C-alpha cells in the first residue's frame, strides 16, 4: 500500500490550471507576450491580463521562475477577482520555486482573502501542503478540510487519505479510520446498518423477555389495528421478531449485516435509510393486503428490499465493486429464490411481506444510479449526456412507489374493516369470542 503522506510538492501546475479557470466564458486566449514584454504600469485589458497569465505559465514550465513571477505580479490587482486569484496562485508557485517559501505561502493565503474563485481550492491545497512541511499538522488538517469542501469528485479520495494520515499523526484514531474509509471509497467507517441492527436486537430481546408481551403487542403488524389508523406499525414491525424463535432474529440480522453495508457503500447512509424505510413499508403493505389475520413480526420485508436493490442495481447500472461486493451480488439471485421457496414451503412465514419488499427494492435499484462508486455507465458517458429529465426519474419513481403503497393501504384498510364488521356480526350471533384465538400464533415475515 502506498504511503498516504502528502508529498513535499503537493501543488498542481498552478499557472496553467489557474489560467484556464480565470478565462471568462466567450473570451479566446490571446497570443503570448515575449519574455520581458510586460505592459507599462496602468490598467490592463482582459486580453492583456490573460496573455500575461498564459505567458507566465509558459515561463514557469520552462524553469524561468523569476520572469514568471514578474508576469504574474503585473496581473495582481486586476479588477476581476478570478483573474487576480489566478495570478496570485501562480505567483506563489514561482516564489516557492525560487526558495521563497514564506513569501509563497503568504501569496497563497492572499488568494483566500478574495471572494470564492476557482483558484480557492488550489490555494487551500498549497497552504495545507506547506503547513505539513512546517510541521503544523493541525493547521494542515484544517486547510485540507477546507480544500475537501471545494474539491472536485476525482480529488476527494486523495484528500480524504491525507486527512486520515494527519488525524492518525495527531492521535485521533477514530477520525483517521473514517477518513481512510472515505479515501478507499469503502463506505462509512460506522455504517448506519450497524445502528439499525443494534436497535432491532435491543427491542426484539426486550420483547422476548418477561413482561415483553406489551412491547410485542404495541409494535407488531396487527392488520386490524393498522386498519383503524395505527399506520406506524408498517415500520415498527421491523423492530420485533418471533419471541419463541431466536433464530428468526439471528438470521434476519445476519442478512442485514451482509446486505446493508453494501447498499450504504453504493448509495450513502441517507439513501440507505430512505430505501430501508420504503422497503419496510412495502413489505408491510404486502402483508396488510394479502396476508393472513395473524399479526406479523420481523424485518425481512425490508431486508428482501435491500436484496432487490442490490440485484437490480448490479444488473442495470453495473457498479464497480470490490471482491466481497462482487461475491455477494453474484449470489443474490440464488439467495432470493431459496428464501422465497422456503417461505412457500414452511407454514407460518408471511411471504407476501417478502414479495412486497423485494418488488420495491427491484424498483428502487432500477431508478437510482449508485452515486458513491464508479459504474460502467460513468466510464463511457460523456459529460452532459445526463439530461434534466433523466435526473427526475428517481423522484418520479419514488412518487409512483409511494402512490402504489398508499393505494395498498386504502385497499387493505377497507378489506380489514369489512372483515372486522363481519366478524363482529358473527360473534354477536354466536355469542363467542372468536378473535381470541389470534393471540395463539403470530406470522413471521421470515
Helix (H) or strand (E) holding 362: helix 351-367
pTM of the model: 0.59
pLDDT at 198: 96
* CB contact set of 382 (below 8 Å; sequence gap of 6+): none
CA nearest to 445, candidates 285, 296, 237, 307: 296
Residue 64 has pLDDT above 60, yes or no: yes
* CB contact set of 270 (below 8 Å; sequence gap of 6+): none
Residue 237 has pLDDT above 80, yes or no: yes
CA–CA distances in Å: residue 309 to residues 120, 250, 374: 39, 22, 17
Q: Which residues pair with 225 in a beta bridge?
A: none
Cα 285 to Cα 301: distance, rounded to the nearest angstrom: 10
Report long-range pairs for 173-179 (Cβ below 8 Å, ≥24 apart).
none
What mean pLDDT is predicted for residues 315-332? 82
Residue with cell string 424485518: 299
Cα 171 to Cα 145: distance, rounded to the nearest angstrom: 17
Treating both helix axes as pointing N-terminal to C-terminal, what angle do 137-150 and 153-169 enclose, rounded to 10 degrees? 160
Cα 6 to chain centroid distance, Å, stands at 26
The percent of residues above 70 in pLDDT, for the chain, comes to 80
* CB contact set of 29 (below 8 Å; sequence gap of 6+): 23, 50, 51, 54
Among 153-162, 239-248, 249-258, 306-315, where is mean pLDDT lowest? 153-162
Query: What confidence tens digit (pLDDT) does each residue in 149-189 have?
Result: 888 776 787 888 889 889 989 898 888 888 877 776 555 66
pLDDT at 28: 31
pLDDT at 383: 37
Q: What is the DSSP letter of 113?
A: T
Three-state DSSP class for 296?
strand
What mean pLDDT is predicted for residues 338-364? 92
Residue with cell string 509558459: 58
Residue 282 and residue 407 in contact, taking contact as beta carbons nearer than 8 Å: no
Query: What confidence tens digit (pLDDT) does each residue in 278-290 have?
Result: 999 999 999 999 9
What mean pLDDT is predicted for residues 388-399? 79
CB atoms under 10 Å from CB of 383, counted, come to: 5
DSSP per residue, 122-149: HHHHHHHHHHHHHT-HHHHHHHHHHHHH
What's the count of helices (H) and strands (E) in the chain, helices before strands? 21, 0
Radius of gyration of the chain (CA): 31
The percent of residues above 90 in pLDDT, for the chain, comes to 57
- On average, the pLDDT of the chain sits at 82
Residue 389 has pLDDT above 50, yes or no: no
Higher-pLDDT residue of 6 and 164 is 164
Q: Which residues pair with 361 in a beta bridge?
A: none
pLDDT at 234: 96
Residue 189 and residue 225 in contact, taking contact as beta carbons nearer than 8 Å: no
CB atoms under 10 Å from CB of 329, counted, come to: 19
Q: What is the DSSP letter of 116?
A: P
C-alpha cell at 220: 407488531
pLDDT bucket at 323, cuts 50 / 70 / 90: confident
Cα 124 to Cα 118: distance, rounded to the nearest angstrom: 11
Residue 12 has pLDDT above 80, yes or no: no
Burial of 62 (0-12, 13-18, 19+ CB in 10 A): exposed
Residue with cell string 393472513: 292
What mean pLDDT is predicted for residues 122-138? 93
DSSP per residue, 192-241: HHHHHHHHHHHHHHHHHSTTTHHHHHHHSB-HHHHHTT-TTHHHHGGG--
CA-based angle 283:208:434, to the nearest 5?
Answer: 70
pLDDT bucket at 141, cuts 50 / 70 / 90: very high
Backbone phi, psi, residue 441, to 5°: -140, 155
Amino acid at each position: 500500500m502506498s504511503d498516504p503522506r502528502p508529498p513535499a510538492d503537493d501543488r498542481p501546475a498552478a499557472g496553467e490550471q489557474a489560467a484556464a479557470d480565470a478565462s471568462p466564458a466567450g473570451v479566446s486566449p490571446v497570443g503570448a507576450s515575449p519574455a520581458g514584454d510586460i505592459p507599462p504600469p496602468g490598467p490592463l485589458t482582459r486580453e492583456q491580463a490573460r496573455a500575461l497569465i498564459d505567458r507566465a505559465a509558459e515561463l514557469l514550465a520552462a524553469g524561468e521562475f523569476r520572469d514568471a513571477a514578474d508576469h504574474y505580479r503585473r496581473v495582481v490587482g486586476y479588477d476581476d477577482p478570478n483573474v487576480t486569484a489566478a495570478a496570485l496562485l501562480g505567483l506563489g508557485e514561482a516564489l516557492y520555486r525560487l526558495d521563497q517559501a514564506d513569501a509563497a505561502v503568504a501569496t497563497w493565503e492572499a488568494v483566500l482573502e478574495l471572494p470564492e474563485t476557482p483558484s480557492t481550492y488550489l490555494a487551500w491545497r498549497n497552504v495545507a501542503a506547506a503547513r505539513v512541511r512546517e510541521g503544523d499538522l493541525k493547521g494542515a488538517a484544517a486547510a485540507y478540510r477546507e480544500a475537501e469542501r471545494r474539491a472536485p469528485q476525482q480529488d476527494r479520495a486523495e484528500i480524504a487519505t491525507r486527512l486520515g494520515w494527519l488525524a492518525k499523526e495527531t492521535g485521533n484514531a477514530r477520525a483517521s479510520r473514517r477518513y481512510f474509509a472515505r479515501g478507499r471509497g469503502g463506505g462509512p467507517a460506522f455504517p448506519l446498518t450497524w445502528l439499525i441492527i443494534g436497535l432491532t436486537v435491543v427491542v426484539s430481546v426486550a420483547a422476548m423477555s418477561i413482561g415483553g408481551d406489551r412491547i410485542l403487542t404495541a409494535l407488531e403488524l396487527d392488520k386490524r389495528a393498522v386498519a383503524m389508523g395505527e399506520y406506524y406499525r408498517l415500520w415498527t414491525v421491523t423492530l420485533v421478531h418471533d419471541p419463541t424463535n431466536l433464530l428468526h432474529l439471528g438470521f434476519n440480522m445476519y442478512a442485514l449485516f451482509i446486505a446493508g453495508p453494501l447498499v450504504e457503500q453504493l448509495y450513502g447512509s441517507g439513501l440507505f435509510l430512505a430505501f430501508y424505510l420504503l422497503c419496510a413499508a412495502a413489505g408491510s403493505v404486502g402483508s396488510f393486503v394479502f396476508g393472513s389475520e395473524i399479526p406479523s413480526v420481523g424485518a425481512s420485508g425490508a431486508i428482501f428490499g435491500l436484496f432487490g436493490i442490490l440485484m437490480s442495481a448490479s444488473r442495470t447500472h453495473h457498479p464497480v465493486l470490490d471482491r466481497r461486493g462482487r461475491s455477494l451480488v453474484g449470489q443474490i439471485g440464488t439467495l432470493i429464490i431459496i428464501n422465497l421457496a422456503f417461505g412457500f414451503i414452511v407454514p407460518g412465514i408471511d411471504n407476501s411481506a417478502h414479495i412486497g419488499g423485494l418488488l420495491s427494492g427491484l424498483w428502487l435499484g432500477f431508478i437510482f444510479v449508485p452515486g458513491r462508486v464508479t459504474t460502467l455507465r460513468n466510464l463511457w458517458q460523456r459529460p452532459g449526456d445526463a439530461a434534466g429529465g433523466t435526473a427526475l426519474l428517481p423522484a418520479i419513481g419514488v412518487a409512483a412507489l409511494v402512490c402504489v403503497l398508499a393505494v395498498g393501504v386504502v385497499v387493505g384498510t377497507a378489506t380489514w374493516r369489512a372483515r372486522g364488521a363481519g366478524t363482529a356480526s358473527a360473534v354477536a350471533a354466536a355469542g363467542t369470542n372468536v378473535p381470541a384465538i389470534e393471540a395463539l400464533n403470530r406470522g413471521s415475515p421470515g
